[in-house]
Every structure is written in structure tokens, then in C-alpha cells.
């Protein structure tokens, strides 16, 4: 049904316009009491066995909405209504900015992929903080806040920009993510080098602790799939050393591997980050590498090309406690989260593991005890 609708309506529209249209419907439904209760009953049924505790937070399940969909925190309840167990808003930058010129979002339908060069279009940390402050939650959901660098801020001054966002947003964040991995802000990904990352993460940690004194806000870093393997190891070691709470793997890729199902060559050549199905293999590989390095000392969040329950289950076995999706939501539609929950519950029931937590990293344990 959604697939037919996608073919007839969304596919003919400019992808960014389709995004805002869908967004409007979701927000409208979430504001209408009877409708939102009905939609949530159908799309977000609870599976007790999927209850997840991570980052010191209790969630209905492990599957959340990846950053970038709700940059300005305007549809948290709408996304919870659709069954996402946590919603990561952002990326929010220190200052408001318009992002890159349009067109900046492209659908590679045959490859079930997207290319985007949005460039952190967002209302800025002050406006988003005010919105989160005023929010009266309808659905109880975990809200992650993903922060990044304002484009005009020099790389050398990046830490101050992240600190500004942290001071404004940390109080409203169930967890905070330092995004150093989007390919669409010049120089941003250089911040993944440990000599830049160490002072940045330390400054954000200190700012969060200064601002929020009644609890410890969990801090995560989000990394690119394009890091060399030894750089993935270096970030993992640094995260452990600094007492970080988690690593999100991965952001979009600048590589163009894994395509070839017939997307137009002109589209494939668009500049930006590739997400969706072609990213699956590398994101999984990075996750496996991270788990081999950090085990369960740090929460790993698996994201990149998760299209269905089997993909989600594979990430859990590979070491992810939490999982996220974005691109497949565009292709699969409103039943995306429900299908993942159902399939995960079925896989868990058929597995030798009593809980999801027991399944986390099982692949690695099997490989090392062989
Ligand atoms: C249009 C679009 C915008 C995105 N914006 C952000 C962003 O602002 N911050 C961020 O950390 N990740 C952003 N992402 C990356 C996603 O959060 C996710 O890491 C990536 O798309 C891989 O997951 P997927 O294959 O399920 O889409 C964006 C992705 C897309 C497709």
C-alpha cells in the first residue's frame, strides 16, 4: 500500500518537498488525540521482551530514528507514535544556518539509497533548546540530541561551537551525540583524528557536567564509515580512555560502492553522503570492529542500511545495543518500525538467548571461543 503510494506520489515529487509533506502529516496526526492513539496502537505496539536498558535509560525497544530526519525537534512525538523507541534530533549547530543550496537530497530508488548534502540546515542551538524546553511530551520516548559544527566557524574554533550547543541543549537531552562525521560540512570529519577529538570530547563532557548537575548526561560520538580500520580502533580506544558512553556507527559515506542496481549515473555522481542499502556492509563491518575492540565497556549504536528485522538482528549479534534507521523509512514507510519490532521479537524467541542484551555481541563471542 505505502509502496504504491510512494510510486504514485512521493517518487514524482522533489525528495525534500516529499520529506516536508510527510513530516507535516506526521506532526498533524501526533497533534490529534484520537488519531495519534489509534496510529500508535497499530504502529507502535509494545513487545515486553524487547525492553532495553542502555546509557542508563529505559526504552521500549532498541530501535530509534537516526539523526537528520527531525533536525529541529519538531516531530518527536510523531516519530514515537510511528514506533521509534528513541528519537535522535539534530544535527543542531551552535548558530542557525540554511544549509547547502537546493537540490541537496537525491533518491536512488533502484538501489534503495539516498545521497544528501543538506549541510546541517537547522534553526540553531538556541531555538532548538527553547523548543525542547517548551515541549510537553505526549509519548514517553528517549530524546537524543546530536550536535555539530556551524559551517562558518573555523575548524580551530570548533570546540567552542560544540560547547555553546552543549550548554544550551544538554539539559534537554537524554543523551548527547558529538557528530564529527557528516561529509557535508567542510573539515568536520578531520575532527575524528584523535588529536582533535580528545580536546573536543573533553570540552563537551566538561560543559555537560557544568550545565547539568543533577544527572550525568550520556555522551556519544558518531563516526564515519570512511575511517580507515586503524582510525576506527583509535576512536574506540579514545572513547574508552575518556569514559565516553557510546559510539554511533555509522554516518553516511562518501564512497559509491554497493551501487549498481540501475540508479542513473548522474544521480550516483551527486556530491554528498550516501545512505541506505549500499551502506549496510561497511556499517556492519565498522560495528564488528568496534565491538571486538571495546566489547561491552561502551554502548554501540548500529546504523547504516538497516532495512528490515534481519538487518537489525545482525547488528545486535554484531555488538549493537541500540540500532537506528533513516533511509529505509523513506522506502518502507510508516510500517518500518513495526516490522522491525515484530521481526526482532520473533528472532529473539527463536534464538538461544533469553533477552536482547544476551544476544548483543554473540557473533564475536562465538568467533572467539571457537
Ligand atoms: C537526508 C539525510 C540527512 C542526514 N542528516 C544527518 C545529520 O544531520 N546528522 C547526523 O548525524 N546524521 C545525519 N544523517 C545520517 C543518518 O543519521 C544515518 O547515520 C545514515 O543515513 C545511515 O543510516 P541509514 O542508511 O539508515 O539512512 C542524515 C541522513 C540523511 C539521509
> With the CA atoms of 333, 280, 122 and 248 taken in that order, what torsion angle do they form, in degrees rounded to the nearest 10?
120
Confidence (pTM): 0.97
Question: Is the predicted pLDDT of residue 3 greater than 80, yes or no?
Answer: no
Binding positions are 67-71, 91, 116-120, 146, 179, 184, 222, 250-252, 276, 305, 326-327
Render pLDDT for 228-266 as a digit per residue (tens, 0 to 9): 999 999 999 999 999 999 999 999 999 999 888 788 888
SS3 annotation, 246-257: EEEECCCECCCC
Mean residue pLDDT across the chain: 95
What are residue 86's DSSP bridge partners?
64, 142
What is the CB neighbour count within 10 angstroms for residue 269?
9
Question: Is the predicted pLDDT of residue 10 greater than 80, yes or no?
Answer: no
Instruction: Report d(CA 89, CA 23) in Å as an integer.
Output: 14
Instruction: Look at residues 343, 300, 332, 324 and name the one whose alpha carbon lies nearest to residue 70.
Output: 324
Cα 327 to ligand 1 centroid, rounded to whole Å: 8
Q: Give nearest CA residue, ligand 1 atom 18.
A: 251
**Where does ligand 1 bind, in terms of residues with CB under 6 Å?**
66-68, 71, 90-91, 105, 114, 116, 118, 120, 146, 179, 182, 222, 251-252, 275-276, 279, 303-306, 325-328
Render pLDDT for 339-354 as a digit per residue (tens, 0 to 9): 999 999 999 999 999 9
Question: Is the predicted pLDDT of residue 12 greater than 80, yes or no?
Answer: no
Residue 163 vs residue 7, higher pLDDT:
163
Ligand 1 atom nearest residue 305's Cα: 25
The domains of the chain, with CATH numbers, are 2-368 (3.20.20.70)
Largest CA distance in the chain: 54
Ligand 1 atom nearest residue 181's Cα: 11
Q: Model confidence at 1, in pLDDT bands (50, 70, 90)?
A: confident
Q: Given the DSSP bridges, would you call strands 57-59 and 52-54 parallel, antiparallel or unpaired?
A: antiparallel
Please spell the DSSP secondary structure of 163-211, one letter per residue: HHHHHHHGGG-SEEEEE---TTSTTGGGGGSHHHHHHHHHHHHHHHHHH
Render pLDDT for 204-229 as a digit per residue (tens, 0 to 9): 999 999 999 999 999 999 999 999 99
Cα 128 to ligand 1 centroid, rounded to whole Å: 19
Mean pLDDT of 113-122: 97
According to the model, what pLDDT value does residue 261 have?
77
According to the model, what pLDDT value does residue 146 have?
98
Backbone φ and ψ of 181, nearest 5°: -130, 5
Cα 214 to ligand 1 centroid, rounded to whole Å: 31
Amino acid at each position: 500500500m505505502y509502496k504504491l503510494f510512494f510510486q504514485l506520489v512521493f517518487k514524482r515529487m522533489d525528495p525534500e518537498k516529499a520529506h516536508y509533506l510527510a513530516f507535516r502529516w506526521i506532526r498533524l496526526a501526533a497533534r490529534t488525540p484520537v488519531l495519534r492513539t489509534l496510529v500508535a496502537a497499530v504502529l507502535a505496539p509494545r513487545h515486553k521482551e524487547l525492553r532495553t536498558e542502555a546509557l542508563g535509560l529505559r526504552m521500549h525497544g532498541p530501535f530509534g530514528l537516526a539523526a537528520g530526519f527531525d533536525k529541529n525537534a519538531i516531530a518527536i512525538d510523531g516519530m514515537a507514535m510511528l514506533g521509534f523507541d528513541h528519537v535522535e534530533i539534530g544535527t543542531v549547530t551552535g548558530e542557525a544556518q540554511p544549509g547547502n543550496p537546493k537540490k541537496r537530497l537525491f533518491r536512488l530508488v533502484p538501489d534503495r539509497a539516498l545521497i544528501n548534502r543538506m549541510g546541517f540546515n537547522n534553526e540553531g542551538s538556541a531555538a532548538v533548546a527553547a523548543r525542547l524546553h517548551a515541549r510537553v511530551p505526549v509519548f514517553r520516548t528517549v530524546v537524543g540530541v546530536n550536535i555539530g559544527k556551524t559551517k562558518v566557524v573555523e575548524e580551530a574554533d570548533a570546540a567552542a561551537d560544540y560547547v555553546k550547543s552543549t550548554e544550551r541543549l544538554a539539559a534537554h537531552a537524554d543523551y548527547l551525540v558529538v557528530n564529527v562525521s557528516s561529509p557535508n560540512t567542510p573539515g568536520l570529519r578531520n575532527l575524528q583524528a584523535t588529536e582533535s577529538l580528545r580536546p573536543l570530547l573533553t570540552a563537551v563532557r566538561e560543559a555537560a557536567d557544568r550545565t547539568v548537575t543533577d544527572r550525568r548526561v550520556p555522551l556519544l560520538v558518531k563516526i564515519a564509515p570512511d575511517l580507515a580500520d586503524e582510525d576506527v580502533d583509535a576512536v574506540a580506544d579514545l572513547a574508552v580512555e575518556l569514559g565516553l558512553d557510546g559510539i554511533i556507527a555509522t554516518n553516511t559515506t562518501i564512497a559509491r560502492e554497493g551501487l549498481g542496481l540501475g540508479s542513473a549515473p548522474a544521480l550516483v555522481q551527486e556530491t554528498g553522503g550516501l545512505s541506505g542499502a549500499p551502506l549496510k556492509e561497511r556499517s556492519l563491518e565498522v560495528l564488528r570492529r568496534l565491538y571486538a575492540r571495546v566489547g561491552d565497556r561502551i554502548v554501540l549504536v548500529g546504523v547504516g542500511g538497516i532495512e528490515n528485522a534481519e538487518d537489525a538482528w545482525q547488528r545486535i549479534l554484531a555488538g549493537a545495543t541500540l540500532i537506528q534507521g533513516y533511509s529505509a523509512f523513506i522506502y518502507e514507510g510508516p510500517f518500518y518500525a513495526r516490522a522491525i519490532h515484530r521481526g526482532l521479537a520473533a528472532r529473539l524467541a527463536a534464538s538461544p538467548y533469553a533477552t536482547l542484551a544476551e544476544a548483543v555481541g554473540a557473533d564475536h563471542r562465538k568467533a572467539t571461543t571457537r
